[in-house]
Each structure stands twice: as structure tokens, then as C-alpha cells.
Amino acid sequence: MKKIIYLDNAATTKTAPEVVDAMLPYFTEFYGNASTIYDLGNHSKNAMNEARDIIADALGARGEEIYFTAGGSESDNWALKATAEAYKSKGNHIITSKIEHHAILHTCEWLEKQGFEVTYVDVDENGVIKLNELKKAIRPTTILISVMFANNEIGTIQPIKEIGEIAKEHGILFHTDAVQAFGQVPINVDECHIDMLSASGHKLNGPKGIGFLYIRKGVKIRSFVHGGAQERKRRAGTENIPGIVGLGVATKRAIASMQERTAKEIELRDYLIDRVLKEIPYTRLNGHRTNRLPNNANFSFQFIEGESMLIMLDMDGICGSSGSACTSGSLDPSHVLLAIGLPHEIAHGSLRLTLSEEITKEDIDFVIEKLKSIIERLRSMSPLYEDFVRKSKGGEK
Ligand SMILES: *Cc1c(COP(=O)(O)O)cnc(C)c1O
């Protein structure tokens, strides 16, 4: 297989070899059900609780506040649906942002059909939530604010502490989808007044199909999966011990390497951004220039169709994304890019490149050279571009 330069780490990441190694014995050797009383089962239970403690430590939380789920989407669904149900006697209003992941947005749409009211707060041109609008949206019936920690498409990091303070001041629960942020930026649930937090293994070099929901002690939240007594009777089902062990090791690894890894990623990210903006005309960066995920770059190229660009990059072994994996395949431009004010035709020409610790400067140089020639070729085939060039030349006379 030809060399692949994988720049789609916001979609998923490679499972780290040490994570796989740690998981393997839990398939074939320590396969006991954690709910049993014999030693084999205890072994599973201990491994699970160790992972729980590692994750809790990473957030400044307690082990008993971590509930394992099947990933980010489930955690988001749980946080929203179960809060809505548990607090509906207090009110029926939920506040979120326009740039959430579909796991939040589509859950909110479903809740609206059940009679809840949802306010989708605007973001500014950098993708930062408008705090004054958030405050204005609060009603006596507001039960929950859910705002993502960092955006999966444009990388913008939200003022989570400020949002947490606003929520706390008004006695409203605060949930954050931290699937992109967990393991990439430091998070402390107490400092940020976070009541619930979603994360997912496969976004931090852990396995797919495992995640967790942090639920602050004292938050009334209903069981999401009914059945056995697992996860303090709140999420039934025999625990995914290999996945949980993998998530624990991935978390430990991400936290231990965070400073060094992200410093290197930020340097490469900024190098990529600077060169692309300088060397490719009619290009813009999407998302906040500095207050963004260490590994995220997102560009819009005028007169370019995102899908064609992705296909051509793929022919050179470069994996990128034109929005979020979930929206590829549909012709609608990304809701995030529209929310930051991009017109449809510019949003269509977008490219997200998300780095990992394995990416080198040579990789980035290679990508930039390929990108330059791809964009030149695509533009040379674009009647819109031709027209634009002709008009601007005419204007110079
Ligand atoms: C990937 C992602 C999710 C979904 O997580 P899964 O584990 O794939 O279900 C939710 N929110 C954000 C911000 C994401 O990036």
C-alpha cells in the first residue's frame, strides 16, 4: 500500500499500539463478566474501575461520576434526553449552539417533537458562541445548557468556564460535548462548572465504540439503557471491558503526552496555516486563529468544489475532510460553516486537515505542494474562476 498521510484525526484516530496491547488479554484471558463473584470476573471489574479512576483524575472528578457508554453519540443522547425527562417538572427549555455535532442537534430536534423548546444560540465569525445571546436566551423554564467544548469542524474552543458560570448563576445544568477536546486541552469539571461531559475513545487514539459520560454527583439523571444493574443502574448491559481498558490507557497516554504533543502540533498547524494562506490565493482560514484545537486547520478555497479536492488529495495518499464525516455524501454545506457566515459557494470549497503526533514537517510540505497544484488545476477548469479573472483584469485597465 502506498504511503498515506492521514490528516483526518477529527473523524477518527489510529488506535495506539500500547492501547491495543493493553486490551488484548481482556478478550482471551480475562474475559470474565464484571458482575460475577469469582476471581476471573473480579479481574475485569478491577480493570474497569482502574480505567474509571484514570478518566476521573483527568477531569478532576470522582470515579463514581464516570459512566461508560458506547461513544460520543450515546453520551450526548443520554445527557440531553435523560436530563429533559428528569427535569421536565422544572421546565421544558434547552439552550444549545448552532454549531454542535449532529449527535446534539438531532437529539434537540427530537426533543422539540416531544414538546421541549430549544434555543440555538449564534456564533460569531470565528465560531465563538455569543455569550450575550446565551444570557438573553435564559428563561425561568430553562433546564439545560449544552455547548460543545471545541468544534469538530473548525476547531474553535468555546469559553466553557464563562458558560459554566452563567449556568451556575441561574441554577441551570451545564453539559458539554468534549469529544474533540478531551485529551487535547486540559479540562477541569469543577473549574468550569460542568455538570455533564461527553467523550469518546476513538478520538484520542483509543478504540471505537467506547466513550463515557461524566455526570456530577447530585445531578438527577435517568437510566438510559434499562436492564441489569451495571453503571450504578443507569446504563445496563455487560460492560465492554476491553474497550474500557483501552479507553483508560488512551486517556492516560493522552494526558501524559498532552503538553509536548500539542506544542508540536500547534507549531506544525500554524506552519500549515501560514503557508496555505500565503501561497494559495483566494483562501480563508475558518475558525479562530489561535484559540483552536492544536491539531485543526480548516480552509475555504474560492472557486473550488470540496469533494473534487478530496478525491484528488486521496489520489496522492492524503486523507482530509470537507466538513464532518457525517455530512460528506450530502450536498448540503456544513451547518458550522454557514453559522460562521460563509456563503454556500465558499462553504462548499472547504477542507479540514487535522494533524496527529505522527505528522512531520515533511508531510506538511508534501501536502502543501500537492494542494497548490490541485487547486490550480481545479480552478483552471472552473468557468467561475475564469470569469472572475477576466473581470478583475478588466477592472485593472
Ligand atoms: C465524533 C464526535 C461525536 C460522536 O462520537 P462517536 O464516538 O463517534 O459517537 C460527538 N461529538 C463530537 C464533537 C465529535 O467530534
Q: What confidence tens digit (pLDDT) does each residue in 209-226 have?
A: 999 999 999 999 888 899
What is the CATH code of the structural domain delimited by 5-10+258-392? 3.90.1150.10
> What's the confidence (pLDDT) of residue 239?
95
Residue 139 is which amino acid? R
Ligand 1 pocket, residue 72 CB under 6 Å:
yes
Residue 180 marked ligand-binding:
yes
What is the CATH code of the structural domain delimited by 17-254? 3.40.640.10
**Beta carbons within 8 Å of 386's beta carbon, 6+ residues apart:** none
Task: Tell me if 142 sits within 8 A of 118, measured CB to CB.
Answer: no
Residue 394 marked ligand-binding:
no
> What's the confidence (pLDDT) of residue 330?
59
- Candidates 208, 209, 249, 213; CA nearest to 231 is 213
DSSP bridge partners of 185? 182
**3-state SS, one letter per residue, for the chain:** CCCCEECECCCCCCCCHHHHHHHCHHHHCCCCCCCCCCHHHHHHHHHHHHHHHHHHHHHCCCHHHEEEECCHHHHHHHHHHHHHHHCCCCCCEEEEECCCCHHHHHHHHHHHHCCCEEEEECECCCCCECHHHHHHHCCCCEEEEECCCECCCCCEECCHHHHHHHHHHCCCEEEEECCCCECCECCCCCCCCCCEEEEEHHHCCCCCCCEEEEECCCCCCCCCECCCCHHHHCECCCCCHHHHHHHHHHHHHHHHHHHHHHHHHHHHHHHHHHHHHHHCCCEEECCCCCCECCCEEEEEECCCCHHHHHHHHHHCCEECECCCCCCCCCCCCCHHHHHCCCCHHHHCCEEEEECCCCCCHHHHHHHHHHHHHHHHHHHHCCHHHHHHHHHHHHHHC
Residue 200 marked ligand-binding:
yes
Q: Write the burial class of residue 190 (CB in 10 Å: 0-12 exposed, 13-18 middle, 19+ buried).
A: exposed
Q: Write the burial class of residue 260 (CB in 10 Å: 0-12 exposed, 13-18 middle, 19+ buried).
A: exposed
- Candidates 154, 187, 92, 188; CA nearest to 336 is 154
Distance in Å, CA 223 to ligand 1 centroid: 21
Task: Tell me if 283 sits within 8 A of 299, measured CB to CB.
Answer: yes
Pocket probe for ligand 1: among 148, 152, 197, 324, the residue whose CB has the most ligand atoms within 8 Å is: 152
Residue 323 marked ligand-binding:
no
> What's the confidence (pLDDT) of residue 256?
98
Does residue 326 have an active-site annotation?
A: yes
Ligand 1 pocket, residue 73 CB under 6 Å:
yes
Residue with cell 470522582: 62
> What's the confidence (pLDDT) of residue 351?
97
| Residue 209 backbone zone (phi > 0: left; psi -120 to 50: alpha; other: beta) | left
Distance in Å, CA 346 to ligand 1 centroid: 25
> What's the confidence (pLDDT) of residue 395?
59
Ligand 1 pocket, residue 302 CB under 6 Å:
no
Tell me which residue has its CA closest to atom 8 in ligand 1. 72
Q: Where in the chain are the domains?
A: 5-10+258-392, 17-254
> pLDDT tens digits for 112-147?
999 999 999 999 999 999 999 999 999 999 999 999
Q: How far apart are CA 152 and CA 161, in angstroms?
A: 19
pTM for the model stands at 0.96
Query: How far are the Cα atoms of 28, 52, 242, 254, 341 from residue 58, in angstroms, in the given order?
Result: 29, 10, 20, 10, 35
Q: How far apart are CA 340 and CA 4, in angstroms?
A: 32
Tell me the CB-side half-sphere exposure of residue 159, using CA atoms within 13 A: 15
* Intervals of the chain under pLDDT 50: 324-327, 397
Residue 85 is which amino acid? E
Q: Write the burial class of residue 349 (CB in 10 Å: 0-12 exposed, 13-18 middle, 19+ buried).
A: buried
Task: Tell me if 128 sits within 8 A of 97, measured CB to CB.
Answer: no
> What's the confidence (pLDDT) of residue 326?
45
